[in-house]
Structure 1
Amino acid sequence: MSKFHSMVSRRDFMKGLGMAGAGIGAVAASAPVFHDIDELIASDTAVQPRPWWVKERPIDDPTIEVDFGMMERHDGRDQGQSARVRAIYYGADRVLGAAALSAAELAERTASNYPGYTYRSRALAGSFKRVSQGTSPGWAETKDPAPVKTPEERGEPKWTGTPEEASRMLRAAMRAYGASLVGYTELTQEHRDHVIFSYEKGDSNNEKYIGTTIPVTAARPIVFENVPKAYETTEKLVIPNVPLWEIALSTQGSNELWRSAGTLLGGMANGNTFYNCANLHASTYNFLRYLGYQLIGTIGNDARYVGSEGGAAIMAGLGEASRQKLYTLTPEYGAPGRLYGVLTDLPLEPTHPIDAGIYRFCHSCQKCADSCPPQCISKEKEPSWDLPLTEGKETIYSVKGTKAFYNNLPLCRQYSNETSHGCRICWGECTFTVNRGALVHQIIKGTIANIPLFNTYFYKLGDAFGYGTDPEKAEAWWDLSLPTLGQDSTIVAADAGYGK
């Protein structure tokens, strides 16, 4: 917490609102009435306790406009991380030369003792290892030689209950295994025809596929078949034509590491969000297997996306779309975090998309775009249905059918590869990458959801609070007293005294 932050009082904040062009009366007239702080901070929903300003919307009607008729099953091989795709726009020489540029920058910053590249920072970032997926996760069958037994193998019937009971049960289990937010959508025929990817990402990022066709053994097609169970071969990933539900989930990140973006500690911030994914996947797989149901897809394996992870999170109400199309902003965590979507045949109660004023805020806030070193984030005032050209060529890496702000994702990845730290500056600069302890933040977020008039003011107020990225924060990080992994897991916890 900065010295300025500690000096800001609620009175100062409300005076600031008045300076922004409207008095306190405007806030009082539109804000709900709450009787105590607990009621202000959280209200209960079917997903998990959410802040009071989070409003539910109808199923399949998020704040970002969606047209399934325009949407096609996207080819997971065509995404900005792919060396083959980047070479289409920026040439093979630049793509292949990124490692040398990164190494040169690392050597220069190490020699100059640049903040976030000091001896201790190099030791911390270089020693950090996230739990490996190992050989356990498969598409629908674990490779673990000793998974839990199914009900049939134990000689008892599968678990049965209402979708509402199943939803609460699964959320509780996944939270215990390490998930931060959990929501659900029904996999309708419309979703099967337009949302599920046509190919996995697989090994398509590999530089050896520059200028060539990717074989199906490297990135397999995802197909639907009239079978009861999902399965995989070396040449395809199969989803059964049975009733299915998608589980959208997030794993938390560390705000303080993200605010060190532009240094080695900022690069470590990305790995921090993966830390427990392997355990989370294995435990959730076994939990559903024990009950008599299947898990399709992999938590923690970006190469095996079922579909757009951000899209699943938006439809299930975990968060809203953003100007920086790579991340979905959640009311609780903002930008930091990791999103995944997997399928199950356990009948679940769908959760609703939300409106917390976040996507509307992104229309007026350009902080991520202003802070982007290669300037690859849209600065348009309004989102669009039309995919813009990339370097004068057709854009093949973005999903069609959403009225969105479109980013140059190949340039984002290319620039990240050319640095020694992986960039990620926009994550730490985002106005929603804020802490939660001060009541002022809850008031600000509640105001954003109800009174868009103050959005520009709040964008500028974030700088005054000392948020955003700064290399010096990588050195100040060592003297902070942080929770385990730098993650506040109590944010959506209302019981055992955590949220009270």
Structure 2
Amino acid sequence: MNISHSTLSRRDFMKGLGLAGAGLGAVAASAPVFHDVDELTSLGSNVNKYPWYVKERDFKNPTVEIDWDTLERPNANNFKSHPRPSAADFTAAGVVGGNMTDLETPAEALALYDYCEKEFPGWDKGYAGAGDIRSTALDNACKFMMMGQWPAEIYQGGKRINVRNAILAAGGTATFSSFLGPQAATTIRPQDFGAAKWQGTPEENFKTLRNAFRFLGCQDVGCAEIDNDTVKFFHKIKGAGSGFNTGEAGGKQIAFKDIDEAYETADEYAIPNKCKYIITFTARQSFEGTRRQAGITESFSVWYCYARYVKMICHMQEFIRGLGYQCLNMSGLYFSNPLSVITGLGEHGRMSSPAIHPKNGTTNRANGWALLTDLPVAPTNPIDFGAYKFCETCGICADACPFGLIQKGESTWENPAAAKNGLAQGQFKGWRTNNTDCPHCPTCQGTCPFNSTSQSFIHDMVKATTTNLPMFNGFFANMERFMEYGRKPQWEFWDIEQPTYGFDTTA
């Protein structure tokens, strides 16, 4: 049974919750109260325009407990570690479309076929294991230059040219995105012409950056300052590439130094201590596309997100350079979930890799891309909208994982996957996905109850209630299961009117 929309009236829904009387009053009582226009307009802390029920917390005090003394900088970002099978290996096992595979083994690919066929009777894996021909075509189209990768062989001037190999032969890298940024000849720094760099207060600088980010396509922006604790979210050594970046060398040191200008060598990323301002932003992906992912890989919702936002990072690096400051791309050199949480872009949840956003749930790619800059920026605080508490009694994503890699049960200080991912025990009280074995299949992200459309009053009411009345969390999780609101058949995507870029910008 697949039900996309509820026919419950507001009145019946409230009665079902027991909120028609005192319960609703409790929610209403927690809403902010303003006594005059000046008081209303002076509320400057909600810089990302979150709903009223989202509360701010103190810096370094998110809803997930962190043992800052136990926490330490990891050596690398350890994800899938087994060797990538060849297309021939997949073909021999009966897996179609070997070049479409992501991080799974042939056995895992076959398990995903079986999973999708049972979840959506009538689903066809197609010629490449990613579903119907339209979904497969959009998947492949959206992979073009994703992750900032230079294309291999493409047509140029009527001939096939291997752009990637040409750039590597010239001493370049496999991606157009980089630690130091493009620093194109067209990006003019004011100090190069004897002019003063941009001068603004930290608050003005935050507003400036947020407007630039939103112009370029992101939704929310977070900021924090590096100190002896937050520096632990950045790796000491870069890990080797995996998946689409297989073959990318690891081992570079990530060093914070008392220097004036950042630099990169074959062995080191050198970061000036004055580049102590962390900038994060949300990278939204299609809600309808995310819940309709199926097959052996994630989908066009993910690939296009990676294609757009990596390019946007380059734009922001050039913009900040044009203001007269440094901007360093830390992609692959940090943990995104804790930086998202610390800077107020979401809460830690059971999936652990994506932070849960108050409006978009887990339909965000990483939800915490990080840049470092020496432009002083006002900080944003952690937030609380009840997601962490909700995850304690939910577990829908863990139940849905085809490979049982998402931690079940209550939040813990223990890391069940510590032996594989090399991360110490006791660093935070939460949940972990075993990313070392995770094949990045298309399942879990589409199941989160916090994913919702802006057109649903019921979901808005539920989110407000989970923040203020957590005793209803178990009921809401069970209702989500009963209504089957999460994942939907892949083929339905093509019958839905799609908003620009795949997501509703009014949300």
* Superposition map of 1:110-121 within 5 A: 113-114=124-125, 117-121=131-135
C-alpha contact (below 8 Å) 1:444/1:458 kept by paired residues: yes
Residues 107, 485 of structure 1: CA spacing in aligned structure 2 closer, same or farther, 3 A cutoff? same
Residues 129, 399 of structure 1: CA spacing in aligned structure 2 closer, same or farther, 3 A cutoff? farther
Residues 405, 129 of structure 1: CA spacing in aligned structure 2 closer, same or farther, 3 A cutoff? closer
- What is the aligned partner in structure 2 of residue 452 from structure 1? 470
Residues 398, 9 of structure 1: CA spacing in aligned structure 2 closer, same or farther, 3 A cutoff? farther
C-alpha contact (below 8 Å) 1:83/1:207 kept by paired residues: no
Determine which of 408, 414, 421 is the counterpart of 2:434: 408
Determine which of 423, 426, 431 is the counterpart of 2:444: 426
- What is the aligned partner in structure 2 of residue 5 from structure 1? 5
Q: Does 1:162 align with 2:159?
A: no
- What is the aligned partner in structure 2 of residue 73 from structure 1? 73
Residues 171, 400 of structure 1: CA spacing in aligned structure 2 closer, same or farther, 3 A cutoff? farther
Q: Which segment drifts farther, 255-264 or 289-298? A: 255-264
How much has 1:263 moved relative to structure 2? 3.1
Determine which of 14, 21, 25 is the counterpart of 2:22: 25
- What is the aligned partner in structure 1 of residue 460 from structure 2? 442
* Superposition map of 1:58-457 within 5 A: 58-77=58-77, 79-83=78-82, 98=104, 100-101=106-107, 113-114=124-125, 117-132=131-146, 133=148, 134=150, 136-142=176-182, 145-192=184-231, 194-203=232-241, 218-242=250-274, 244-263=276-295, 266-298=298-330, 304-338=331-365, 339=367, 340-381=369-410, 383-388=411-416, 393=419, 395-397=421-423, 401-413=427-439, 416=440, 423-457=441-475
Determine which of 467, 470, 486 is the counterpart of 1:468: 486
TM-score (norm 1): 0.81
Cα distance between partner residues in 1 of 2:138 and 2:491: 12
**1:458 partner SS:** helix
**1:251 partner SS:** coil
Q: Counterpart of 1:26 in structure 2: which amino acid?
A: G
TM-score (norm 2): 0.80
Cα distance between partner residues in 1 of 2:424 and 2:188: 41
Cα distance between partner residues in 2 of 1:261 and 1:165: 40
C-alpha contact (below 8 Å) 1:255/1:486 kept by paired residues: yes
**1:237 partner SS:** strand
Q: Does 1:480 align with 2:483?
A: no
C-alpha contact (below 8 Å) 2:109/2:296 kept by paired residues: no
How much has 1:292 moved relative to structure 2? 0.7
How much has 1:278 moved relative to structure 2? 3.1
**1:223 partner SS:** strand
How much has 1:343 moved relative to structure 2? 0.6
C-alpha contact (below 8 Å) 1:255/1:434 kept by paired residues: yes
How much has 1:140 moved relative to structure 2? 1.8
- What is the aligned partner in structure 1 of residue 98 from structure 2? none
**1:368 partner SS:** helix
**1:82 partner SS:** coil
C-alpha contact (below 8 Å) 1:202/1:220 kept by paired residues: no
| CA offsets 1:266-318 (integer angstroms, 9 cap, x no match) | 522321321311331121011101111111125xxxxx433211111100001
How much has 1:131 moved relative to structure 2? 4.4
Q: Counterpart of 1:448 in structure 2: which amino acid?
A: T
Cα distance between partner residues in 2 of 1:450 and 1:112: 40
Higher relative contact order (CA 8 A, sep 6+): 1
Residues 98, 59 of structure 1: CA spacing in aligned structure 2 closer, same or farther, 3 A cutoff? closer
Cα distance between partner residues in 2 of 1:293 and 1:208: 33
How much has 1:106 moved relative to structure 2? 9.6
- What is the aligned partner in structure 1 of residue 16 from structure 2? 16
**2:52 partner SS:** coil
C-alpha contact (below 8 Å) 1:434/1:467 kept by paired residues: no
Residues 409, 398 of structure 1: CA spacing in aligned structure 2 closer, same or farther, 3 A cutoff? farther
Residues 447, 208 of structure 1: CA spacing in aligned structure 2 closer, same or farther, 3 A cutoff? closer
Count the aligned residue pairs. Answer: 447
Cα distance between partner residues in 2 of 1:487 and 1:96: 25
Cα distance between partner residues in 1 of 2:63 and 2:108: 39
Residues 80, 188 of structure 1: CA spacing in aligned structure 2 closer, same or farther, 3 A cutoff? same
- What is the aligned partner in structure 1 of residue 172 from structure 2? none
Alignment gaps of 5+ in structure 1:
37-42, 87-93, 299-303, 417-422, 492-500
- What is the aligned partner in structure 2 of residue 419 from structure 1? none
Q: Counterpart of 1:198 in structure 2: which amino acid?
A: K
Cα RMSD, aligned residues only? 3.3
**2:341 partner SS:** helix
Percent pairwise identity: 29
C-alpha contact (below 8 Å) 1:184/1:351 kept by paired residues: yes
